[in-house]
Structure formats: C-alpha cells, structure tokens
Amino acid sequence: MQWLKLLIYLISSLILKTNAQFERDPNGYLVYCPCMGRFGNQADHFLGSLAFARALNRTLILPPWVEYRKGELRSRQVPFDTYFEVEPLQEFHRVILMSDFMSHLADEVWPASERVSFCYMERKSLQQEKNDPNAPNCHAKDGNPFGPFWDTYNIDFVASEFYGPLHFDVHHSAIATKWQQSYTADKWPVLAFTGAPASFPVQLENRVLQKYLKWSPRYREAAREFIRNVLPRGAFVGLHLRNGIDWVRACEHIKDSQQLFASPQCLGYKNERGELYTELCMPTKEAIVRQLKRIIKNVRQSQPKNEVKSVFVASDANHMISELSNALSRMDISVHKLPEDDPYLDLAILGQSNHFIGNCISSYSAFVKRERDTHGFPSYFWSFPKEKERQQSKPHEEL
C-alpha cells in the first residue's frame, strides 16, 4: 500500500504544480511576432522584448522561432524550447511558452472576441481592397510570416490599437510607466505586438540578458558530442564565415552607412571604435587565412599547454575547408564542419570553442559573441581592427 500512497502523492503534487504554473498573472501578458529577419535578428529582438516585458511587469509569452525553408511559401514556427530552456529565463522575469498560454490560459485571459493587435501606426495591407481610410488597421496577419505565425495558435484579431508615440527604450526614459498608464492590465490583459517591441540591433543595455538563454539539453549534448567525438583532443578555434549571396548584396550597403546590422558590437554603438569598411563585412580569403594563422601562433606562444589542434568552421555558404586545410597542414591542425547544415548546432559549437572569430556585421556572429562573453571566453572579428591599424597596435585584438 505504501507504493499506492506514494503514487497518489506524486500525482496530486504534479497536478498542484501544473495548476500553479498556469495561474493567471494579474499584471498581464505581452506577446509578439518575431516577424523580422532570421535567427540572429530574432535573438536580438528577443533580448529587447524580455527587457521590455520586465519593465512593464508583464509576463512575456515566449514566441516560437520563425524559420524559412527553401521552396516553402509559409514560415515554420518552431517552439521556443526546442533550442532554449525556459527555466533559466524565469530567474530574470516571468515567462510562459506560447503553446502553454494558448492552451491553458487564453480562453480565460484573452478570449477570441477580445484579441487586439498592437502596432505603432496604421499598417497598410498589400491587398488594396483591405485598406479602408475610415478604419485604419494593423493588418497583423497580412503576408508571411505574419499570417502563419498567428495561425499556428489559431489567433485572429478583432481590432487594432495604435500605440504611437510610445516606444520601447525602457533604459533611457520613464516610458514603462507611460505604457502601464495607457494600457492597464485589467483592461488590456494581453498586449499583442505585430513585431517585436525591441530595437535591432539589440540595445547595449540588453546584451547581458544573453546569460539567461541556455541551450536546450538536446543542443547542449549534440555540441558536446561533436566536440568530443569528431574534433581531436585539444583546443579548437571556431570560425563563422558569413559569405552567401544575400550577404554579398548586404555588404554593398557598407558605403552608405555608419552602422550595418550588428556592427556596433565591434565599432561601438556611437562608432567610438571606428567607421564601417568593406573587409569588416566581407574579409578576403587571404585575410581570413592570415588572421587565423596569427591567432593560432599567438595562442601557441601565450598558452603552450593548450595548443590549438583543430578548427571548426560554421558557414551559410562557403566553409573554405580546402583552403584552410592547406594553409594549416604544416601546423598539424585539422579543419572540420558539420556533416549536415544545422544553424543551431553550429551556434552551440561556436559558443564552446576556445577561441572564436566572427563577422562583426552579422547578428548570427553576435549571438555567439554575447554567449561567449557570459563565460568570459575570448572572441575576435574578421579584419578588425583594420589590418594597417592593427600592425601599429596589438597583433590581434581580443574583444
């Protein structure tokens, strides 16, 4: 009978725990569509949205990650916890998975007849007939990924709310209080944004929130296995080579800009560490080989006991495996990549490398840099500082 008592106890404590987990937050909720860009952009936006939800003291509904597959017209929504754990985020602020919110709380907190979408100002629909001058609208479900995102949870909106001129910079103004005054939790239990309530790139003040983003056991374990089973024993350098055709085109904007995508991570948010230049976005193959060799030599001198034995390359297009292998063959260093494309596993492995060289402009690289900063691991950027300037300063600059 002892086991029966134990079983009853376990079941009832599980039920209690589940109920407590899904208790309504009287302070309200915040949900948004990560509708801009791919993973790096969405991760930047996530950190800002987390800070924003905390400043407003509302529970953040964790949206799925929005992914795009070749040949598919509609985005795919991948549950937040496929890649990251929910629990560590709770240390910073109250969060709930979107699927949990929709299945356990939405009927009570956010009935279908009360779902309002929030946007700064009217958003015109691409379908002209939907644009009524007398009834401006957010058109929150217009186009991809907007429609597929909310459809994933069967969400339709019955009205629009324009929140302008309110904004999201909770660090430099009393805007959080204004939000709370304009949208009280009793009248507005859920603020549902058409896009992330955050800036891109991530605000300087929100970069530290990266420490609450911990890889899910599946990715943590897969990264560990790759490092243990595929890479030779010893230190390894992780490289991010962003060089696909979309990137080549994006780099053309360098000449008309002060900053591009994640560039404040090396140039400083006010360009205090310099201006943009082409090689920062698209380093030449020669420059890549030179910088990698220089870093490996420096590590050999400064840390002779932790010699570099291999290089792990992550890339969206050209991994340069043969060029790098040739260049490093005399140093007895092997060069590796994943057997199959996996942007998330690439990230998780780069986060664990002994040294990392990334692309300063890329928000994908920025994710790795922030994660490594939380552990105090060293990171560098391709062609930063500029080669000429570097020769006059340190042999390589660790950021």
With contact defined as beta carbons under 8 Å apart, do 357 and 382 qualify? Answer: yes
Whose CB is nearest to ligand GFB? 40
Tell whether residue 212 is a contact of ligand GFB (CB under 6 A): no
Of 104 and 207, CB closest to ligand GFB: 207
Q: Which stretch binds ligand GFB (CB under 6 A): 37-45, 154-162, 216-224, 229-237?
A: 37-45
What is the helix (H) or strand (E) element at residue 379, kind and residue range? strand 379-381
Give me the least distance between CB of 143 and ligand GFB, in Å please. 16
Tell whether residue 387 is a contact of ligand GFB (CB under 6 A): no
What is the helix (H) or strand (E) element at residue 227, kind and residue range? helix 217-229
Tell whether residue 37 is a contact of ligand GFB (CB under 6 A): yes
**Residue among 362, 369, 370, 384 that touches ligand GFB (CB under 6 A):** 362
Query: Residues 231-260: x/- map of binding to ligand GFB (CB under 6 A)?
Result: ---------x-x---xx--x----------
What is the helix (H) or strand (E) element at residue 114, kind and residue range? none
The tokens describing 157, both together, are 């909106």
Give me the least distance between CB of 242 and ligand GFB, in Å please. 5
Q: How many degrees, rounded to 5, is the angle at CA 287 between CA 284 and CA 290?
A: 150
**Residue among 206, 310, 315, 352 that touches ligand GFB (CB under 6 A):** 315
Quote the CA–CA distance of 206 and 214 in Å, as a whole number: 16
Quote the CA–CA distance of 237 and 350 in Å, as a whole number: 8
Quote the CA–CA distance of 126 and 148 in Å, as a whole number: 16
| Whole-Å CA distances, 387 to 104, 277, 393 | 56, 11, 10
Tell whether residue 383 is a contact of ligand GFB (CB under 6 A): no
The tokens describing 275, both together, are 């201006």
Query: Residues 317-356: x/- map of binding to ligand GFB (CB under 6 A)?
Result: ------------------------xxx--x----------
Tell whether residue 41 is a contact of ligand GFB (CB under 6 A): yes
Of 6 and 248, CB closest to ligand GFB: 248
Of 285 and 297, CB closest to ligand GFB: 285
Name residue 240's amino acid: H
The β-bridge relationship of strands 95-97 and 379-381 is unpaired
Q: How many degrees, rounded to 5, is the angle at CA 342 between CA 337 and CA 348?
A: 80
Please give the residue ranges that form the binding site for ligand GFB (CB under 6 A): 37-41, 240, 242, 246-247, 250, 261-262, 314-316, 341-343, 346, 362-364
